[in-house]
Amino acid sequence: MNLNNYNSEDKVLLAVDCIIFGFDGEDLKILLIKRNFEPERGKWSLIGGFLKREETLHDAASRILNYLTGLDHIYMEQFYSFSEVNRDPGERTVSVSYYALINIEDHNEQLNKEFSAEWFSVSEMPNLIFDHNQMVDMAIKRLRYRASTKPIGFELLPEKFTMKQLQKLYESILNTKLDKRNFISKINGLDILIRLDEKETESSKRGSYLHTFDKEKYSKKTNEGFVFKI
């Protein structure tokens, strides 16, 4: 083991696999594609690709996400690298996994057709190729942790949302029921939302106030030592 002769060392293919989370107002969902090539043709899979020589892992993940969704500046986080020797029967491949959060409404439905992509509830995952189910499990755990310490939930919601939507989102991320009154007073206590004068009237006669996430206020509070915690 001597670092000074790089040449004698093995090189490997480095894959980047992405768990794309979305929220439809009821359930936390993941976007999967049906593989149209071997190995494992016809099975459900995460989207992925290979790291190119001149890009970072972050660049690769962005490129892959953009390719499938058409979106830029997607929130994402790298969470683990998977390296079982035979995880990909095609060739020795190590996979670096990212999860990504997108607003399901921004997403181009057309692209789903093109790639045979579909949204699946996290509670109804099909069997995926390779170790992708394990990746999904780990992504959910990481998302759960992150969403309770950083206000990333808003990445999954439209710009304007109701308190009910926000609560449902957290319920599906955390996989629990929350008490409406406690949830709202906790959120209000954080003081990082703006209640608009607009109401959403589709789901009820009375209508419910729309809110937006106040990014500036959040940054300012964070700089002053405020810690987001749900």
Partner DNA sequence: TCAAAAGTGTTCACCGTACACCCATGG
Partner DNA sequence: CCATGGGTGTACGGTGAACACTTTTGA
For a copy of itself, the binding residues (CB under 8 A) are 1-4, 6, 9-14, 35, 37-38, 48-58, 63-64, 67, 78, 80-81, 83-85, 90-94, 96
User: Is 209:198 a contact under the CB 8 Å cutoff?
Assistant: yes
From the list 55, 185, 196, 220, which residue makes contact with DNA (rule: CB under 7 A)?
A: 185
- In the bound state with DNA, the residue whose beta carbon lies nearer, of 83 and 201, is 201
154: Cβ–Cβ under 8 A, 6 or more apart, which residues?
161, 213
For DNA, which stretch binds (CB under 7 A), given 23-31, 128-136, 152-160, 199-207? 199-207
Kindly identify the residues of this chain, within the stretch 153-172, that bind DNA according to CB under 7 A.
162-164
Token couple for 188 = 């209000």
Q: Is 193 in the site for DNA (CB under 7 A)?
A: no
Q: What angle (nearest 5°) sits at the alpha carbon of residue 216, between those of residues 215 and 219?
A: 85
Q: Could you tell which of a copy of itself, DNA, none binds residue 187, using a CB distance below 5 to 8 A set by kind?
A: none
Site string for DNA, 204-223 (x = CB under 7 A): xxxxxx--------------
CB of 120 to a copy of itself, least distance (A): 20
Residue 117: both structure tokens together: 């992509």
Consecutive H or E run containing 208: strand 208-213
DSSP output for 117-170: EEEEEGGG---BSTTHHHHHHHHHHHHHHHHHHS--GGGGS-SSB-HHHHHHHH
| Footprint on this chain of DNA (rule: CB under 7 A) | 162-164, 179-182, 184-186, 199, 201, 203-209, 229
